Structure 1
Amino acid sequence: MLEAGLSGRSTTMVTAENTAAAMGSGDLAVFATPAMVALMEHAAMEAVAGELPEGSTTVGSEMNTTHVKPSKLGAEITATAVLTAVEGRKLTFNVGARDEVGLIGEGTHVRYVVDRRRFLEKLG
């Protein structure tokens, strides 16, 4: 059952592949904002995956985040997501990311529950 309070987490290490320089979002060898956002989305997806109807998944539609601190190569990053509201198919999450030192980013994220088959059929 989808209800407020469900939570998920996702972890990664900062590597050369997920730096701002490698992803094109900057030119420094620090954890990229797009990588942080993807990690937050994954945590939100995981938070509700076990409660979805058969054949359903969630898709991200909105992300509002701040990236407040850089993280160096080798740092472990953990993103968390807590479901705060369920409005029909619309799911709203509070998301955050931390490294060993502390908070690196936070925000809100919206996902929608979709039927996998119907969603992919729309692609043609």
Structure 2
Amino acid sequence: MNRWTGSAGICINDQKEILMVKSFESEEWAVPSGGVEEGESPEECCVRECKEETGYDVKVIEQLQIKETTIKGIQVTTYYFRVDKIGESSGINDPDEIIAEADWKSLPELKTIKHAYPEDLHLLLEQLEQ
């Protein structure tokens, strides 16, 4: 079975909003994430993907969970990290050119927007409540 390993970053600002991204031709939002490259740790991947997809430099605070799932016959492992942003965004610079927009989403918005990964919503809400 094919395997894919990736990382996702959950970043919350001082206004208690979560940093989310949306792809072109999609109305679904997700936290910044992507595949771990060769020789890269899940933490390094998380920092790189956040930078590429949102323009923010981030630092990893803690590992939150590891999600195991199977998508179209591929065994998917995703590491979720709580991250803090450093400074302001330099703009989206996604080499894959799939990210159309990055935005901060408040608690009421999180409950109404479409999610690419609805199963992550409870984790996002949990983080906001801390």
TM-score over 0.5 for the pair: no
Max Rg structure: 1
The answer to which structure, 1 or 2, has the higher relative contact order (CA under 8 A, 6+ apart) is: 2
User: Structure 1 length normalisation: TM-score?
Assistant: 0.32
User: Structure 2 length normalisation: TM-score?
Assistant: 0.31
